[in-house]
Amino acid sequence: MRVTLLGGDVMIAQAIGEIQEAERKAEQRIREAESEAKSIVEQAEREAEDIVRRAVEEAEREAEDIVRRAVEEAEREAEKILGEGAQRAEEERRKAEERVPQAVERILSLITGI
C-alpha cells in the first residue's frame, strides 16, 4: 500500500522519530549507568575484601610478633631462674657437703645402736 504523507504528517513522523531517538538515548544512558553501578559495587567488593585481608594479615603478623617477643622475654627470665636455681643448688650442695660427716654419724648410730 502506498502511503502519502501530507505536510503535517511528515512533521508528526519527524517528531515521533526525535522522541524515539531521545528515548533510545535515555535508555542507553541508563544501561550504561547500570553497568557503571555494577562496576562500582564490584570494585567496592574487591576493595572491601582487600581491607579485611590486609587487616587480617597485618594483625597476624602483629600477633606473631607479640608471641615471639613474649617467648624471648620469658626465655630470658627462664635463664635467670635457672641461673639462680643452679646457684642455690650449688650453695645447698656445698652446705650439705659440710654436714655429711655429722649426718653419717647420726644415721650410723641409729642403725648400729651405738
Sites for another protein among residues 53-72 (CB under 8 A): 54-56, 58-60, 62-64, 66-67, 69-71
Closest CA to 96 of 86, 85, 107, 104: 104
Residues 87-106 that bind another protein (CB under 8 A): 88-90, 92-93, 95-97, 99-104, 106
Cα 34 from Cα 27, distance rounded (Å): 10
The answer to whether 13 contacts another protein (rule: CB under 8 A) is: no
Cα 58 from Cα 53, distance rounded (Å): 8
Residues 18-47 that bind another protein (CB under 8 A): 18-19, 22-23, 25-27, 29-30, 32-34, 36-38, 40-41, 43-45, 47
Count the alpha carbons within 13 Å of 52 in the hemisphere toward its beta carbon. Answer: 5
